């Protein structure tokens, strides 16, 4: 993020893929935990 803001560097393809996987996993976990808490 700082590289883009300060040095105007774009991340490479694999960095973006990794970031998408991490964000998607976090959203999935958040949604799953919310659904499990409703069942209790």
3 lies in some domain: no
pTM of the model: 0.72
Domain range for residue 32? 10-39
Residue-wise pLDDT for 1-40, tens only, equals 788 888 888 889 999 999 999 999 999 999 999 999 887 6
pLDDT on residue 8: 85
1: helix, coil or strand? coil
- Residue 8 Cα distances to 2, 12, 15, 19, angstroms: 9, 13, 16, 18
Domain count, the chain: 1
Q: Classify residue 25: in a domain, yes or no.
A: yes
Q: What is the helix, strand, coil percentage profile of the chain, to 5?
A: 80, 0, 20
What is the per-residue pLDDT for 40? 64
- Does any domain span residue 14? yes
């Amino acid at each position: 993020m700082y590289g883009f803001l300060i040095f105007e560097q774009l991340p490479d393809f694999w960095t973006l893929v990794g970031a998408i996987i991490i964000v998607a996993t976090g959203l999935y976990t958040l949604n799953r935990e919310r659904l499990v808490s409703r069942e209790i």
